[in-house]
Amino acid sequence: MTHCEILMDIIGYPKPHHVLVEKPLCTTVQDCQKVIEAAKQRPDILVQVGLEYRYMPPVAKLIDIVKNGTLGQVRMVAIREHRFPFLVKVNNWNRFNCNSGGTLVEKCCHFFDLMRLFADANPVRVMASGAIDVNHKDEVYDGKVPDIIDNAYVIVEFDNGSRGMLDLCMFAEGSRNEQEISVVGDIGKGEAFVPESIVKVGNRAEGRDGVVTIKAEDERIKYQGLHHGSSYLEHLYFLSAILSEGASNPSINLNDGLLSVAIGVAGQLSVEKGRFVTIEEVLSS
Give 5-58 pLDDT, tens digit per residue.
Answer: 999 999 999 998 999 999 999 999 999 999 999 999 999 999 999 999 999 999
- 180 has which bridge partners? 80, 193
Percentage of the chain exceeding pLDDT 70: 100
| Domain edges within the chain | 52-231+255-284
Give pLDDT, residue 228: 87
Q: Tens digits of per-residue pLDDT, 69-110?
A: 999 999 999 999 999 999 999 999 999 999 999 999 999 999
Q: Which tens digit of pLDDT belongs to each residue from 168-183? A: 999 999 999 999 999 9
Flag whether pLDDT at 226 surpasses 80.
Answer: no
Instruction: Provide CB contacts within 8 A for 91, sequence distance 6+.
Output: none
Work out the average pLDDT over 145-167.
98
In terms of Cα–Cα distance, which of 230, 273, 285 is closest to 23? 230
d(CA 239, CA 251): 10
3-state secondary structure of 82: strand
Band (pLDDT 50/70/90 cuts) for residue 191 is very high
Contact criterion met (CB below 8 Å) for 116 and 252: no
Architecture of domain 52-231+255-284: 2-Layer Sandwich (3.30)
Average pLDDT score, the chain: 96
**Long-range CB pairs of 242-250, under 8 A, 24+ apart, other chains included:** 242/18, 242/46, 249/46, 250/46, 250/47, 250/48, 250/49
* CA torsion angle 48 54 56 60 (round to 10): -130
